[in-house]
């Protein structure tokens, strides 16, 4: 039986945008915009946070005789993406692209919903201090205005690599995320001022993660976010 090692993926947010420049909670929507964020989580071998905020995934060694098996399954062997993913795999042998995408998807949902629900406790465990302070300020403003948000994360329709690059010892992985969500915001009088409590909207985001492959502990940082056109 193939052995498995449990690897906890917790992506750490890099404060690449100041609070007033944050674009929207979910990037580009089909119809509505919302307050912004630039999040992710940090990968650790032994998480110190409570178990409620940990995403644990099996780091399986698929294709013992072919370390590029997963890469070839998700990227055309003649493509630049395949070539660059192979470079990252060579520099960081523990990297498994399918497991990375699974962890990124779970991190995406957790952070999006934590912000929408105003869950500061969860956000504080998942975000850097700088970004958490921006999120907390936005949530405080929402509370002072008497606004409430009702959200339902329908699911991720698609998550895939859109780019990869090895810059010296720094690996950069860009993922495209298409998700669906139902969300609406009401003012203190209960009137809807944003979104639709019955409509499913499509959300498109692009997140770029980076890490120094020389580090033994494979920590990834979210270094850029943007809305996909």
Query: Rounded to whole angstroms, how far apart are CA atoms 87 and 89?
Result: 5
Tell me, what's the pLDDT at 92? 93
Tell me, what's the pLDDT at 64? 58
Tell me, what's the pLDDT at 4? 36
Other CB atoms within 10 A of residue 198 CB:
7
Backbone angles phi, psi at 213, to 5 degrees: -70, -10
Query: Into how many domains does the chain fold?
Result: 1
Query: Rounded to whole angstroms, how far apart are CA atoms 81 and 160?
Result: 11
Write the CATH number for 120. Answer: 3.10.450.240
Tell me, what's the pLDDT at 7? 39
Tell me, what's the pLDDT at 17? 35
Tell me, what's the pLDDT at 219? 64
Domain of residue 203, residue span: 4-227
Tell me, what's the pLDDT at 229? 66
Residues of the chain with confidence (pLDDT) below 70: 1-64, 125-131, 218-219, 222, 225, 229
Q: Taking the model in full, what pTM does it have?
A: 0.66
């Amino acid at each position: 039986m193939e052995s498995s090692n449990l690897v906890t993926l917790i992506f750490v947010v890099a404060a690449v945008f100041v609070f007033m420049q944050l674009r929207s909670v979910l990037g580009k929507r089909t119809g509505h915009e919302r307050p912004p964020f630039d999040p992710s989580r940090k990968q650790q071998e032994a998480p110190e946070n409570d178990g409620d905020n940990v995403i644990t995934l099996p780091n399986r060694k698929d294709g013992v005789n072919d370390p590029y098996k997963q890469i070839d399954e998700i990227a055309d062997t003649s493509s630049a993406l395949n070539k660059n993913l192979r470079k990252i795999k060579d520099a960081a042998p523990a990297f498994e692209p399918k497991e990375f995408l699974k962890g990124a998807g779970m991190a995406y949902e957790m952070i999006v919903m934590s912000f929408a629900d105003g869950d500061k406790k969860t956000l504080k465990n998942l975000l850097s201090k700088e970004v958490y302070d921006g999120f907390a300020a936005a949530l405080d403003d929402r509370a002072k205005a008497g606004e409430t948000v009702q959200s339902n994360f329908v699911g991720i329709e698609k998550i895939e690599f859109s780019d990869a690059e090895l810059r010296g010892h720094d690996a950069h992985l860009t993922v495209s995320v298409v998700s669906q969500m139902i969300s609406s915001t009401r003012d203190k009088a209960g009137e809807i001022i944003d979104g639709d409590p019955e409509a499913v909207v499509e959300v498109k985001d692009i997140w770029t993660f980076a890490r120094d492959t020389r580090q033994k502990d494979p920590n990834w940082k979210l270094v850029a976010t943007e809305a996909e056109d």
